[in-house]
């Protein structure tokens, strides 16, 4: 009766042998140890399409063979009208990690999430800068949902009637063992679409799973060596003269400095942006960039993606923008090649051609009121929701390709990313400033193919300053962000020597960091990762599922 | 080109004259001063269907005639695939109220919400106990979206390109007037369905709008007089003897007491529930209830809706339950009449027939991990999301009808409600305990056709205790909830006299409160309401829209 009701409502697709209704609903090996399945009719635009992934098949084929990590019949998928239901089994004591850049907890089992690109708001509820729909199990497999929609995830919290353990039914009146979260034997995911593509990554180890996931996106990024040095972001209204002085003061204080980040004031107008130099603060950008490079210092430029009517590209890009504005700026549909070209032409001719080395891609995540609404429409026909989930990916991809075509490397910052972005040389940052949670995010970044910097801004005490500085020196980007307060590494004189020691330790680590990034690139091994990815840390990291 | 792309994606419906594509997409007068429109193909199950509203047409026809409050062409609706887009205009300085039981702010303009039944989590983000998709404008009209889905609301935050005011485009680098929230001229709503029914309520005053909204749901509820007295909820494991003693102690302390609430311990097992008396604590329920009634004290029984395998109705109701459990309890699909009948038969034969006067309907709102997941499926074919949005409504309706058929009145508590529930004699409560926010909720309850009690539990000081007590005495239900800590009205001896004074003031107010509830019932006027609903408080409460 139940099945009948569902059937008349829409397409019914399942991997249960008795219900196979579509030839496509079978798992296919997409690469060694990587399988995918097409359930129903997926959306045309997804994460891998946005990222235009180029799987590192050669590297993947070098990995040990690993069998399909499940009995197929234990995986359940079903399309009902405009929703796709997915269920993967969990066994007792199995631990899972991932579901993107969470800040509070490493273990993901039990979480209920709405995966939604957003500025992290203090709760691991799925709203974060990189809500990657990927999880990895300590049983040696990983699951990726290739969807650019807001996904509802029940990561081992939902209990089905037929799987209910009778012993879990307790009387709360009198039984102290009563719990609001009884044992659940599955990860369940709801995709708001009439189909979806799912990927499975084999181990055998947990780290192998993550490696395959990263390699399938093209392998991890390989930053330039200067990107692994030290960087300072200067106050927003600094002039070229002040930036030069800043560089000199680093030398005077005997602090290393490899690149400087300019904040919004380099642009003639910002929020929305002109993507053009402010000629009062930067009267001669080409000479300035050249002079800095002669001092051995690269430049990274802040920008957000919204186009001001005062921008030279406004008229040209207008036809490729969405229905709604952000602070008066139009919102380009960067899923359209022509929109990307117009934007990149401006960046290239005005900045990259004179030697600018990278970008900080701001305001592409949230908060909701800092972005376009979900009711916006875009000329590509991709929904506002799909663009929200992929805007960070699109911006990373296009700017990375621009540098790549110029035969130069880049290393920049982004506030949003998603699944498929491992190969883009960008590091995620945010405005949330909990030191403890910044470290948790660093651990979690390793589970989902993104990089994260626990940037240092102000501190209340010199102790805090030193601890934050130590943390950031052991992260993908060693950075002080002084855009607002002008802090310098020596701002706390009583720990200046200790801070300097860590700055130079970072410098001495560059060859090692570079080697680790090479492993990220060629083998998919995340350069920063939690101990749960280390063989031997957890004896359960064996593939024992297929019994 | 844009229109074309949208057109090939799905049904295109709009009230723009040039795009009228369906005969049904016109506004029809549903009752005097009430219009509705069917856009696209709405879901079969909605809020008004769940509540089975019976519009108080006679009362509505007694209200002054009021014209359609818009130029129809200023209202925009469109269906694209499985989403419906709605836009209503806002003019400068217009204020709007509503969107359900919010706790932090009364004014709604500028809010971004995901209307989602849930326990209130400390932020006005749309997740609350009664996320009623209704708002009222101080320009004298109201809008109701009759949908049981999670709606995304941009209540005057989204700015369309063609409506962008050039003066709002400022340079954040140098202009202190820059704002992240520039002027928006519309409320925009996204409905995740391929159609929806929308209602418009006319004024002329803001209060008239709310009155029409309440009358259209059948008019406000009319509680029994005893329901407006004082109520104490006793500790969860109290026995019938202890409850009798509690009643006596109120007399000894010269405190009024009209009904007592029994918490989970009255049931033989709870979380999930048996809906049956615990015979160790309540050996003779019939005599106990009779004895209490002879003392002039009614009884209200706590319950949650999930059925324990140890419940007498478990086997019978099993076929009408969803795929997932809540703490081992099965989740009845109360949108199915047979499921309601089984549940009510148990309540009636075991409790109502021996004189129990009402229920406290707990755990029908959230948190997510205290409820069924959105991946659950139900035998009616209604989605987990639709049942989440209506479960509180369904439980109120069915229990209310049970008492109504018995020709007795009831007055109870619920933790979830929604649009269409005004006529159900239930008061919302929650676990959130901010006194200030409790008062804000009391104000907001008046905008959306629900009742709210700022229940008193513990307090840190006698001052706090007195203030909370004063507040609850000026609310729909004057209640102490001592389920956990056993607090009594006289627990703070230094303010016992003042507390008693307010308890008796409440008693003296009963005739006035009862008259106010009669106005709620017969005229739709909320008995507890903010000053913004009072004529004269805001000179802008005139209908000046249709110019």
Distance (Å, rounded) from C-alpha B244 to C-alpha B296?
Answer: 12
- Rounded to 5 degrees, what angle do the CA atoms B468, B472, B475 make? 150
Give the C-alpha distances (Å, rounded to integers) separating B528 from A467, B15, B397, B502: 53, 37, 22, 18
Angle of CA points B158, B160, B164, to nearest 5°: 105
| Alpha-carbon span B53 to B146, nearest angstrom | 12
Angle between helices B496-523 and B462-473 (to 10 degrees): 20
ipTM of the complex, rounded to two decimals: 0.93
| Eight-class DSSP state of B280 | T
Sole residue written with tokens 């840190």: B460
Q: Is the Cβ–Cβ distance between A421 and A217 less than 8 Å?
A: yes
Beta strands across the sheet bearing A112-117: A76-80, A83-89, A186-191, A151-155, A112-117, A127-128
Identify whether the C-beta of residue A424 lies closer than 8 Å to the C-beta of residue A221.
yes
Q: Which of A83, A181, A328 sits opposite B182 (nearest CB)?
A: A328
Q: Is B376 at the interface with chain A, CB within 8 A? A: yes
- Asked if the C-beta of A184 comes within 8 angstroms of chain B's C-beta atoms, the answer is no
Q: Which residues on A lie below 8 Å from B382 (Cβ)?
A: none
Q: Cα A279 to the chain's mean position, in Å? A: 34
Q: Report how far residue A77's alpha carbon sits from residue A84's, in angstroms, rounded to the nearest whole number.
A: 7
CA–CA gap between residue A368 and residue A374 (Å, rounded): 9
Taking the Cβ of residue B188 and every Cβ of chain A, the question of whether any pair is shorter than 8 Å is answered with yes
Nearest to B387 by CA among B327, B326, B452, B301: B326
Burial grade of A54 (CB within 10 A; 0-12, 13-18, 19 or more)? exposed
C-beta of residue B219 within 8 angstroms of C-beta of residue B466:
no
Sequence-ordered strand ranges (E) for A444-514? 478-481
Whether residue B9 lies within 8 A of chain A, CB to CB, comes out as yes
pLDDT of A489 above 80:
yes
Look at residues B419, B425, B398 and name the one whose alpha carbon lies nearest to residue B46: B419
pTM: 0.93
Residue A17: band (very low, low, confident or very high) from pLDDT cuts 50, 70, 90: very low
Edge-to-edge strand ranges of the sheet holding A321-326: A329-332, A321-326, B159-160
Q: Helix, strand or coil for residue B472?
A: helix
CA dist., res. B112 & res. A416, Å (int): 21
Q: What share of chain A in percent tops pLDDT 70?
A: 94
The structure tokens listed for A60 are 């993947």
Task: Please tell me the predicted confidence (pLDDT) of residue A4.
Answer: 37
Question: Between chain A and chain B, how many beta carbons pairs sit less than 8 Å apart?
Answer: 185
A311: its two tokens:
């921008």
pLDDT for the residue numbered A3 = 39
Q: Residue B520 and residue B523: Cα distance in Å, rounded?
A: 6
- Alpha helices for A217-284 (secondary structure H): 240-252
Cβ neighbours around B458 below 10 Å, total: 16
C-alpha A201: how far from its chain's center? 19
Residue pair B197/B24 in contact (Cβ under 8 Å)? The answer is: no
A399: tokens are 């700017």
At B112 the pLDDT is 98
pLDDT digits (tens, 9 = 90+) for A253-291: 999 999 999 999 999 999 999 999 999 999 999 999 999
Helix %, strand %, coil % for chain A, to 5?
Answer: 35, 20, 45
Measured between CB atoms, does A373 come within 8 Å of chain B?
A: yes
Is there a contact between B381 and A323 if contact means CB atoms under 8 Å apart? no
Residue A400: alpha-carbon gap to chain centroid:
15
Residues of chain B with pLDDT under 70: 1-24, 538-547
The predicted structure's pLDDT at residue B536: 78
Q: Is it the case that residue A1 has pLDDT exceeding 90?
A: no
- Interatomic CA distance for residues A123 and A146, integer angstroms: 24
Q: Which residues of A touch B236 (CB under 8 A)?
A: 173
Question: Where are the extended beta strands (E) located within B48-119?
Answer: 76-80, 83-89, 96-98, 112-117
Q: How many CA atoms lie within 13 A of A179 on its CB side?
A: 9
Mean pLDDT computed over A467-479: 98
φ and ψ of A418, to 5 deg: -170, -175
- Average pLDDT for A522-531: 97
What pLDDT, on the 0 to 100 scale, is given for residue A540? Answer: 52
B227 interfaces chain A, CB cutoff of 8 Å: no
Three-state DSSP at A480 gives strand
Question: What's the CA angle centered on B374, arms B369 and B380, to 5 degrees?
Answer: 125
> Contact B60/B34 with Cβ under 8 angstroms?
yes
Asked if A375 lies within 8 A of B264 by C-beta distance, the reply is no
pLDDT of residue B258: 98
> Of A2, A374, A376, which has the smallest distance from its Cβ to B379's Cβ?
A2
Chain length of chain A: 547
Is residue A151 over pLDDT 60?
A: yes
pLDDT of the residue at A23: 40
Q: What is the largest CA-CA distance in chain B?
A: 80
Cβ of A160 and B5 within 8 Å? Answer: no
Q: Look at residues A168, A199, A185, A191 and name the one whose alpha carbon lies nearest to residue A28.
A: A199
Helix or strand or coil: residue A437?
helix
Q: Nearest Cβ partner of A236 from B173, B178, B377?
A: B173
Chain A stretch 87-106, residues whose beta carbon is closer than 8 A to a beta carbon of chain B: 87
Q: What is the pLDDT of residue B544?
A: 45
Contact between B375 and A85 using a beta-carbon 8 Å cutoff: yes
What is the structure's pLDDT at B2?
38
pLDDT at A538: 61
Nearest C-alpha neighbor of A418 from the set A406, A426, A410: A426
Arithmetic mean of pLDDT over chain A: 93
Contacts of A178 in chain B (CB under 8 A): 271, 327
At residue A231's C-alpha, the angle toward residues A225 and A233, to 5°, is 145
C-beta atoms of A161 and B308 within 8 A: no
């Amino acid at each position: 009766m139940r099945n009948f009701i569902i059937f008349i409502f829409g397409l019914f697709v399942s991997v249960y042998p008795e219900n196979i209704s579509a030839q496509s609903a079978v798992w296919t090996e997409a690469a060694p140890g990587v399988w995918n399945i097409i359930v129903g009719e997926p959306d045309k635009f997804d994460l891998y399409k946005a990222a235009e992934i180029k799987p590192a098949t050669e590297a993947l084929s070098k990995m040990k063979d690993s069998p399909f990590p499940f009995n197929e019949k234990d995986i359940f998928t079903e399309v009902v009208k405009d929703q796709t239901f997915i269920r993967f089994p969990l066994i007792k004591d199995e631990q899972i990690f991932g579901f993107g850049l969470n800040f509070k907890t490493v273990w993901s089992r039990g979480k209920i999430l709405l995966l939604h690109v957003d500025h992290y708001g203090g709760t691991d509820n799925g709203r974060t800068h990189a809500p990657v729909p990927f999880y990895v199990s300590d049983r040696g497999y990983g699951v990726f949902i290739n969807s650019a929609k807001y996904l509802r995830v029940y990561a081992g919290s939902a209990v089905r009637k037929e799987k209910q353990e009778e012993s879990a039914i307790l009387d709360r009146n009198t039984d102290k063992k009563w719990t609001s979260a009884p044992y659940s034997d599955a990860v369940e995911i709801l995709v708001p679409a009439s189909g979806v593509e799912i990927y499975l990554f084999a181990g055998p180890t947990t780290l192998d799973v993550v490696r395959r996931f990263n390699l399938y996106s093209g392998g991890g990024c390989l930053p330039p060596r200067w990107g692994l040095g030290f960087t300072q972001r200067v106050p927003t209204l600094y002039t070229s003269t002040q930036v030069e002085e800043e560089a000199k003061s680093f030398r005077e204080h005997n602090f290393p400095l490899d690149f400087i980040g300019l904040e919004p004031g380099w642009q003639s107008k910002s929020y929305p942006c002109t993507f053009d130099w402010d000629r009062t603060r930067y009267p001669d950008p080409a000479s300035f960039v050249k002079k800095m490079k002669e001092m051995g210092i690269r430049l990274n430029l802040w920008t957000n993606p919204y186009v001001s009517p005062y921008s030279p590209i406004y008229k040209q890009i207008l036809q490729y923008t969405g229905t709604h504005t952000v602070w008066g700026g139009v919102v380009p549909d960067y899923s359209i090649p022509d929109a990307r070209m117009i934007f990149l032409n401006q960046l290239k001719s005005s900045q990259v051609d004179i030697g600018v080395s990278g970008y900080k891609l701001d305001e592409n995540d949230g908060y909701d009121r800092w972005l376009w609404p979900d009711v916006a429409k875009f000329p590509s026909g991709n929904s506002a929701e799909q663009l929200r989930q992929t805007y960070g990916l699109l911006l990373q991809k296009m700017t990375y390709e621009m540098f790549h075509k110029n035969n130069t490397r880049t290393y920049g910052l982004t506030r949003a990313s998603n699944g498929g972005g491992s190969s883009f040389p960008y590091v995620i940052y945010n405005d949330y400033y909990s030191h403890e949670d910044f470290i948790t995010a660093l651990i979690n970044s390793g589970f989902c193919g993104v990089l994260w910097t626990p940037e240092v801004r102000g501190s209340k005490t010199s102790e805090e300053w030193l601890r934050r500085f130590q943390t950031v020196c052991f992260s993908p980007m060693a950075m002080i962000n002084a855009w607002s307060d002008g802090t310098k590494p020596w701002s706390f004189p009583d720990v200046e020597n200790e801070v300097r020691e860590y700055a130079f330790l970072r410098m001495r680590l560059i060859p090692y960091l570079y080697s680790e990034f090479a492993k990220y690139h060629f083998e998919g091994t995340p350069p920063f990762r939690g101990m749960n990815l280390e063989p031997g840390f957890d004896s359960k990291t064996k593939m024992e599922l297929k019994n």
